[in-house]
């Protein structure tokens, strides 16, 4: 498999590109995407058996099960990043090692606990994000791993992309039906 083919499997919807101008409509659409993630994952995984949950979306990629657990962990972090940014002055957020998380014991457990987390976190995220003023949307945090500042409006777009990115991974794994 070529590097380009692996890249396409890793980023089936491409990478997130921040629009030059973020509109209210962008924010609304992104929040809708974020709010719908739990139901999208439930719809795709509700009838999967243990073997199907082990399907991978690409060679050396995560299983469907790992993707669901990752979404819960990642979006817990997103909620905290939004809250820290709203309550502190340009906080430096704490990154985490996603690949190492994906190999912890809880990623071998059934996905129902992570789906419950996603339902709760996304309910809270939706309420919080819909309440943001134009001024709050401009607030920023510092991501030390990337060495740059991110505004909350851009971060809403990133997490909407992240939601679609991993829904695409699950669909891709179900299409390939491969354990690689």
Radius of gyration of the CA atoms of the chain, in A:
16
> pTM of the full predicted structure?
0.96
Mean pLDDT computed over 156-165: 98
pLDDT of residue 179: 85
**In the chain, domain spans:** 23-176
Helix (H, G, I), strand (E, B) or coil at 16: coil
Q: Apex CA 151: angle with CA 147 and CA 153, to 5°?
A: 140
Taking Cα atoms as reference points, which of 43, 44, 9 lies closest to residue 171? 44
Q: What are phi and psi of 93, to 5 degrees?
A: -85, 160
What fold, for 23-176? 1.20.120
| Residue 130 pLDDT grade (very low, low, confident, very high; cuts 50, 70, 90) | very high
| Residue 150 pLDDT grade (very low, low, confident, very high; cuts 50, 70, 90) | very high
What token pair was written down for 165? 């990115």
Please give the DSSP secondary-structure letter assigned to residue 83. H
Task: Report the mean per-residue pLDDT for the chain.
Answer: 97
Cα–Cα distance list, 147 to 44, 93, 118, 143, 150 (Å): 36, 11, 28, 6, 10
């Amino acid at each position: 498999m070529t590097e380009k083919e692996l890249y396409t499997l890793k980023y089936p919807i491409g990478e997130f590109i921040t629009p030059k101008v973020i509109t209210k409509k962008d924010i609304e659409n992104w929040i809708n995407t974020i709010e719908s993630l739990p139901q999208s994952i439930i719809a795709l995984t509700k009838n999967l058996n243990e073997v199907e949950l082990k399907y991978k979306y690409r060679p050396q990629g995560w299983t469907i099960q790992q993707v669901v657990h990752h979404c819960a962990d990642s979006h817990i972090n997103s909620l905290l990043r939004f809250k820290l940014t709203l309550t502190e002055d340009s906080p430096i957020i704490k990154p985490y090692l996603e690949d190492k998380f994906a190999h912890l014991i809880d990623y071998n457990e059934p996905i129902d606990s992570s789906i419950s987390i996603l339902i709760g976190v996304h309910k809270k995220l939706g309420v919080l994000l819909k309440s943001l003023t134009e001024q709050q949307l401009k607030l920023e945090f510092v991501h030390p791993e990337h060495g740059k500042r991110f505004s909350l409006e851009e971060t809403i777009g990133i997490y909407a992309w992240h939601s679609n990115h991993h829904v695409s991974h699950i669909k891709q794994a179900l299409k390939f039906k491969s354990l690689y």
